């Protein structure tokens, strides 16, 4: 060998490179010998010539030129699907430029016999390339740079070894090989040429008189002479890809157990390049104790960088979408911990958009929250805010690539934002749209493991038994891609009439068939094909288009499907050779789930408490305890599922907004507003509430819901104002925090309103955005608890907060305390008083004492059980019977699926 020469053995793919390297090493030690694929050759040549790969901003230039040109065949598609259209244009340009070869541009020659449509496409693409300054795509730009380097400028000469057609070379690639190696073979090592030729040639190894030998020798060619089917080849119909993998693993285990001369390295798996297959292979074969060699997978990755920029842009649109903002604060690139991000997201999904920082959040995180919470952000500030956003992002270890993508995307978006942020928003969102990212993972290679061949790659080991998975339509050979711009006939005319070295669909199919033949020829003893009948979505699949070519090689086969043995047919499954069958066994029924009341042996009321004292319970928590102690426990321990749902205006949301309006309409020591004042102030107050609590309602699509809600609130407020005037009631306080003792249990909560009546009477008021029927029922049945607990707090404790001392002074002169519910939907007032309200006041029902007797007794019972560590489970029928018995809707049963899973059978009365 020349002292300064590098000998490069060019192979089609990484799998064949693996095999050739082993053959070279086996032949003896050598220096200056490399084995690799085309990209590796280009990289070596660039390093050898001290040439860098030119960066001509191909993608950006293509996008700009495609948008600037008018009256083109892609103009309409570019508006509707810009990314997909640019991808198709990129593919068509690369196809033509590769086929044209060095020194030739895309040309549209009149009179070349091309159809009008084809000629127009070619002409427009030529215009496009000219508008791009006739630059080259990156793959060709590197070759072009190397072709301009003089041979004497290389550090060392590179001698390229290759087998014709493996791989197929474009004119550009052929020119570079000629530039590196010259025309002759005088500098080539004959032994290396022989190794490369032998490694890439796969001759039939099966006995020509067997089914395997016939497939290896005559597939896609002559069907004569026909042979009888035998055990060297079989076709098995299975349910889907998972059953394929499981059956193949069982057959391999059987084969290894039944043939002591067979080693795992003598077995091969040929699989589609599909993550579903690769994941199933890794899981099933690991569980079966079968080592694999050569399995690779591409793990899908989130485009975290672009996602962060996209969600930031969406959150700047007012109203901000809660799910977009919640997704943004949970991004790993945010300057806070994962737990802090989840806590912020929960607040947002619960309708709280004020984004209050946690105590331990960093100054960088606080600044980010201020940036995200700037609801009144001026659109003109968007470029500066984008730069600020980029500076505040955090780069966790291992996510540097995502941070780089975020900053690159922001750099791309800022010029658009400087135009006009409002009109350019669509372009900005498109520029920030996440892309599909993946990360390749290759399992360790071993000589002892079962060889895994991939459908699109050369085989890399000779085996005795080969199992082919996924033998379905579109595979074996792999279906050739279709050009989105040129038809099959267009490609043939561009090749034959215009001189473009383009591979047509038929040429590609022929090349792929030859690859499949080489894969089939890698086995010497037997081959098994698995045909999945359904895809992973349950849709029917047909067999590979190669099956008819195989079937015609054998005698007595009428239809191609006749040679397939489906495992769901007992008679066909009995004919499968080597099928692993489970030993007969007596079915064992699943262990019944016996629900028993947990006895945890500790005072559960101490959960979340401090200094050995129980945690104060709110009235709503104690109502949950009445319905389901397990739901109370799950809630207290923070184990409820944090479901994210689309923005919606549900009953609790309406109640929150209505409470806000009522709080500011009816204020302490202020005159009761009249109808005109209510009608004037309510719209603005509702708008403030929406901005604060549910900004998504400001969107035009929510106009009808906003209007209806405003009408409901106005009607309810007018009737409530009339009630206050007619009873001469005065507002003592709104949203008053109260705390007290229910027996020995501390209770704390915030009442909607404290209302003072003449004669030293006070009502604890609870607004409800519902109708009166359900509350009337529960009060009559004695199961009201919430307002009654607030009354207990007033009697046993005090009011707290800024107005606590003033309210405490007022309450010191109170003789009687009652509870009152104002039901806004039908403007009904329900109280537990008797004779406090004049009967002439409309819409008032005084139900008298005893409205909470049953509820408080049940709470006391539940509290005693919790102190003993006992959690009473619900019964199956309580979802239907609890409301009938108590008047309380059992919403607590739906807090988590665990509640209904752990229930006693039957009804409580049966036990």
Q: What's the mean pLDDT in 733-754? A: 89
Distance (Å) of CA 771 to CA 256, 448, 545, 705, 829: 73, 74, 66, 19, 10
Q: Which domain holds residue 86?
A: 58-135
Angle between helices 82-100 and 488-496 (to 10 degrees): 30
Query: Is residue 799 predicted with pLDDT exceeding 70?
Result: yes
Query: Is residue 364 predicted with pLDDT exceeding 50?
Result: yes
Percent with pLDDT over 90 in the chain? 49
Strand 233-238 versus strand 267-271 pairing type: unpaired
Residue 829 lies in a domain: yes
Query: Is residue 619 predicted with pLDDT exceeding 60?
Result: yes
CB atoms within 10 A of CB 115: 12
pLDDT band at 708 (very low <50, low <70, confident <90, very high): very high
Same domain membership, residue 159 and residue 75 = no
Give how many domains the chain has, as a whole number.
6
Task: Give the integer Cα–Cα distance in Å for 85 and 76.
Answer: 10
Strand 267-271 versus strand 450-454 pairing type: parallel
Among the candidates 135, 152, 184, a domain finishes at 135
Highest mean pLDDT out of 232-236, 372-376, 571-575: 232-236
Query: Is residue 693 predicted with pLDDT exceeding 80?
Result: no
Query: Is residue 115 predicted with pLDDT exceeding 70?
Result: yes
- Which pairs count as long-range contacts for 359-368, CB under 8 Å and 24+ apart, including other chains? 361/336, 362/335, 362/336, 364/335, 364/392, 364/394, 365/334, 365/335, 365/336, 365/340, 367/392, 368/334, 368/335, 368/336, 368/392
Run of H or E including 233: strand 233-238
Give counts: helices (H), strands (E), the chain: 34, 19
Q: What's the mean pLDDT in 133-156? A: 88
Strand 730-742 versus strand 798-800 pairing type: antiparallel
Beta bridge partners of residue 757, listed in sequence order: 761
Residue 752 lies in a domain: yes
Angle between helices 275-287 and 241-258 (to 10 degrees): 40
pLDDT in the model for residue 1: 38
Residue 883 lies in a domain: no
Lowest mean pLDDT among 252-266, 418-432, 542-556, 684-698: 418-432
Query: Angle at CA 94, nearest 5°, toward 90 and 99?
Result: 155
pLDDT in the model for residue 2: 40
Buried/exposed code over 597-632 (b: 16+ C-beta within 10 A; e: otherwise): ebeeeeebbeeeeeeeebebbebebbbbbbbbbbbb
Residue 161 tokens, joined? 């070894």
Q: What's the mean pLDDT in 136-150? A: 91
Instruction: Write out the DSSP string of 120-136.
Output: HHHHHHHHHHHHTTS--
Among the candidates 386, 402, 435, a domain finishes at 435
pLDDT in the model for residue 162: 92
Nearest-CA neighbor of 227 among 239, 241, 213, 243? 213
Handedness of CA 641, 645, 647, 652 (dihedral sign): negative
Coil vs helix vs strand at 832: coil
Which is higher by pLDDT, 423 or 840? Answer: 840
Phi, psi values for residue 427, rounded to 5°:
-65, -40
Highest mean pLDDT out of 79-83, 622-626, 900-904: 622-626
Phi-psi region of 27 (alpha: psi -120 to 50; beta: other; left: phi over 0): alpha
Rg (CA), the chain: 38
Question: Is the Cβ–Cβ distance between 862 and 621 less than 8 Å?
Answer: no
Q: Alpha carbon 910 to chain centroid distance?
A: 47
Residue 704 tokens, joined? 């009808």
- Tens digit of each residue's pLDDT (9 = 90 or more) over 87-112: 999 999 999 999 999 988 888 666 56
CB atoms within 10 A of CB 426: 9
Average pLDDT, the chain: 88
Residue 325 lies in a domain: yes
Same domain membership, residue 857 and residue 736 = yes
pLDDT in the model for residue 377: 58
Query: Angle at CA 87, nearest 5°, toward 503 and 481?
Result: 35
Residue 60 tokens, joined? 């950006």
Run of H or E including 745: strand 745-757
Run of H or E including 42: helix 38-48
Residue 357 tokens, joined? 């920082």
pLDDT in the model for residue 126: 93
- Tens digit of each residue's pLDDT (9 = 90 or more) over 437-449: 877 777 777 888 9
The residues near 752 (Cβ < 8 Å, ≥ 6 apart) are: 659, 662, 663, 734, 735, 765, 766, 767
Residue 332 lies in a domain: yes
Highest mean pLDDT out of 255-264, 475-484, 732-741: 255-264
Residue 895 lies in a domain: no
Q: What's the mean pLDDT in 196-211? A: 91
Same domain membership, residue 278 and residue 224 = yes
Among the candidates 661, 692, 727, a domain finishes at 727
Same domain membership, residue 652 and residue 635 = no
Same domain membership, residue 639 and residue 609 = yes
Same domain membership, residue 393 and residue 342 = yes
The residues near 520 (Cβ < 8 Å, ≥ 6 apart) are: 215, 216, 219, 466, 527
Lowest mean pLDDT among 100-109, 452-461, 803-812, 895-904: 803-812
Percent with pLDDT over 70 in the chain? 96
| CATH code, domain with 473 | 3.40.50.300
Query: Is residue 752 predicted with pLDDT exceeding 50?
Result: yes
Instruction: Write out the DSSP string of 490-521.
Output: HHHHHHHTT------HHHHHHHHHHHHHHHHT
Question: Is the Cβ–Cβ distance between 548 and 478 less than 8 Å?
Answer: no
Phi, psi values for residue 127, rounded to 5°:
-60, -40
- Tens digit of each residue's pLDDT (9 = 90 or more) over 251-280: 999 999 999 999 999 999 999 988 889 889
- Tens digit of each residue's pLDDT (9 = 90 or more) over 848-863: 888 899 999 999 999 9
pLDDT in the model for residue 387: 92
Nearest-CA neighbor of 711 among 644, 664, 661, 663? 661
Q: Tokens 């990484």 — which residue? A: 14
Nearest-CA neighbor of 438 among 273, 312, 323, 311? 273
Coil vs helix vs strand at 604: helix
Same domain membership, residue 735 and residue 682 = no
Q: What's the mean pLDDT in 652-680? A: 92
pLDDT in the model for residue 428: 85
Residue 47 lies in a domain: yes
Same domain membership, residue 361 and residue 322 = yes
**Secondary structure letter of residue 414 according to DSSP:** H
Question: Is the Cβ–Cβ distance between 602 and 867 less than 8 Å?
Answer: no
Coil vs helix vs strand at 910: helix
Nearest-CA neighbor of 131 among 224, 68, 39? 68
Residue 821 tokens, joined? 């519910």
Question: Is the Cβ–Cβ distance between 573 and 565 less than 8 Å?
Answer: yes
Query: Is residue 56 predicted with pLDDT exceeding 70?
Result: yes
pTM of the model: 0.70
- Tens digit of each residue's pLDDT (9 = 90 or more) over 533-573: 999 888 999 999 999 999 999 998 889 999 999 999 988 98
Residue 901 lies in a domain: no
The residues near 842 (Cβ < 8 Å, ≥ 6 apart) are: 722
Same domain membership, residue 809 and residue 734 = yes
pLDDT in the model for residue 422: 62
Coil vs helix vs strand at 236: strand
Alpha helices in 288-337 (DSSP H): 304-316, 322-329
Same domain membership, residue 271 and residue 158 = no
The residues near 125 (Cβ < 8 Å, ≥ 6 apart) are: 89, 92, 93, 96, 106, 485
Phi-psi region of 71 (alpha: psi -120 to 50; beta: other; left: phi over 0): left
Same domain membership, residue 385 and residue 332 = yes
Task: Give the integer Cα–Cα distance in Å for 36 and 14.
Answer: 7
Same domain membership, residue 195 and residue 87 = no
């Amino acid at each position: 060998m020349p002292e300064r020469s590098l000998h490069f053995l060019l192979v089609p793919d990484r799998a064949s490179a693996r095999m050739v390297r082993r053959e070279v090493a086996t032949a003896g030690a050598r220096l200056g010998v490399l084995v690799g694929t085309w990209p590796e050759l280009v990289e070596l040549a660039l390093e050898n010539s001290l040439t860098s790969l030119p960066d001509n901003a191909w993608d950006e230039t293509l996008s700009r030129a495609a948008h600037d040109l008018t009256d083109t065949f892609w103009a309409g598609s570019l508006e509707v699907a810009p990314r997909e259209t640019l991808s198709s244009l990129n593919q068509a340009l690369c196809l033509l430029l590769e086929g044209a070869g060095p020194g030739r541009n895309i040309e549209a020659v009149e009179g070349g016999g091309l159809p009008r449509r084809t000629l127009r496409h070619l002409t427009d693409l030529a215009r496009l390339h000219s508008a791009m300054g006739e630059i080259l795509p990156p793959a060709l730009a590197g070759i072009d740079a190397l072709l301009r380097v003089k041979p004497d400028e290389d550090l060392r000469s590179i001698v390229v070894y290759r087998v014709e057609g493996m791989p197929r070379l474009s004119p550009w690639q052929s020119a570079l090989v000629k530039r590196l190696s010259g025309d002759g073979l005088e500098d080539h090592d004959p032994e290396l040429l022989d190794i490369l030729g032998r490694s890439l040639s796969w001759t039939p190894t099966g006995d020509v008189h067997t089914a395997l030998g016939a497939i290896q020798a005559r597939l896609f060619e002559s069907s004569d002479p026909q042979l009888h089917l035998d055990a060297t080849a079989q076709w098995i119909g299975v349910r889907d890809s998972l059953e394929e993998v499981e059956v193949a693993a069982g057959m391999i285990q059987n084969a290894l157990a039944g043939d002591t001369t067979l080693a795992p390295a003598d077995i091969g798996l040929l699989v589609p390049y599909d993550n579903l297959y690769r994941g199933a292979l890794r899981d099933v074969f690991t569980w079966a104790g079968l080592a694999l060699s050569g399995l690779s997978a591409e793990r899908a990755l989130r485009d975290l960088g672009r996602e962060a920029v996209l969600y930031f842009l969406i959150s700047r649109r007012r109203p901000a979408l809660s799910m977009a903002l919640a997704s943004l604060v949970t991004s790993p690139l945010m300057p806070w911990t994962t737990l802090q991000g989840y806590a912020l997201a929960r607040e947002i999904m619960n309708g709280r958009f004020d984004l209050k920082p946690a105590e331990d959040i960093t100054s960088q995180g606080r600044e980010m929250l201020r940036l995200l919470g700037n609801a009144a952000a001026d659109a003109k500030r968007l470029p500066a805010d984008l730069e600020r956003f980029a500076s505040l992002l955090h780069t966790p270890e291992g996510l540097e690539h995502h941070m780089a993508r975020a900053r690159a995307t922001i750099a791309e978006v800022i010029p658009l934002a400087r135009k006009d942020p409002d009109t350019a928003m669509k372009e900005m969102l498109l520029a920030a749209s996440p892309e599909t990212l993946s990360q390749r993972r290759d399992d360790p290679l071993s000589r002892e493991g079962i060889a895994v061949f991939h459908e699109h790659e050369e085989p890399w080991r000779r085996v005795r038994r080969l199992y082919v998975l996924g033998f379905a339509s579109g595979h074996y050979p792999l279906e050739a891609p279709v050009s989105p711009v040129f038809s099959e006939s267009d490609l043939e005319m561009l090749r034959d009439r215009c001189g473009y070295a383009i591979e047509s669909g038929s040429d590609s199919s022929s090349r792929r068939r030859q690859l499949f033949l080489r894969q089939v020829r890698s086995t010497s003893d037997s081959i098994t094909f698995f045909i999945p009948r359904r895809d992973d979505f349950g849709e029917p699949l047909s067999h590979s288009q190669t099956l008819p070519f195989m079937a015609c090689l054998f005698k007595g086969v009428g239809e191609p499907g006749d040679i397939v043995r489906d495992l769901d047919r007992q008679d066909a499954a009995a004919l499968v050779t080597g099928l692993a069958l489970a030993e007969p066994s007596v079915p064992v029924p699943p262990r019944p789930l016996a629900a028993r009341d947990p006895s945890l042996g500790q005072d559960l009321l101490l959960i979340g408490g401090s200094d050995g004292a129980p945690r104060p319970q709110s009235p709503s928590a104690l109502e949950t305890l009445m319905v389901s102690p397990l739901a109370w426990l799950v809630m207290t321990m923070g184990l409820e599922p944090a479901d994210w749902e689309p923005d919606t205006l549900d009953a609790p949301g309406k109640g929150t907004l209505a409470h806000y309006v009522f709080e500011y309409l009816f204020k302490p020591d202020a005159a009761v507003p009249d109808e005109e004042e209510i009608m004037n102030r309510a719209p603005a107050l509702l708008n403030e509430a929406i901005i604060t609590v549910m900004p998504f309602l400001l969107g035009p699509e929510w106009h009808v819901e906003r209007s209806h809600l405003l009408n409901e609130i106005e009607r309810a407020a007018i009737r409530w104002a009339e009630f206050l005037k007619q009873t001469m009631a005065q507002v003592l306080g709104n949203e008053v925090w109260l705390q007290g003792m229910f027996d020995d249990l501390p209770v704390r909560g915030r009442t909607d309103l404290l209302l003072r009546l003449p004669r030293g009477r006070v009502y604890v008021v609870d607004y409800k955005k519902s109708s009166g029927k359900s509350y009337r029922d529960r009060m009559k049945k004695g199961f009201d608890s919430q307002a009654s607990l607030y009354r207990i707090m007033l009697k046993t404790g005090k009011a707290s907060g800024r107005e606590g001392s003033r309210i405490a002074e007022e309450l010191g002169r109170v003789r009687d305390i009652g509870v009152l519910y104002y039901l806004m939907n039908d403007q009904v007032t329900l109280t537990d008083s008797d004779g406090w309200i004049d009967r002439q006041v409309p819409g008032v029902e005084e139900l008298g004492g005893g409205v909470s007797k049953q509820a408080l007794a049940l709470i006391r019972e539940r509290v005693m059980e919790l102190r003993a560590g006992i959690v009473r489970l619900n019964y199956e029928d309580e979802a239907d019977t609890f409301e009938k018995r108590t008047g309380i809707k059992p919403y607590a049963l739906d807090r988590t699926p665990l509640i209904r899973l752990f229930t006693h059978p039957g009804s409580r009365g049966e036990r």
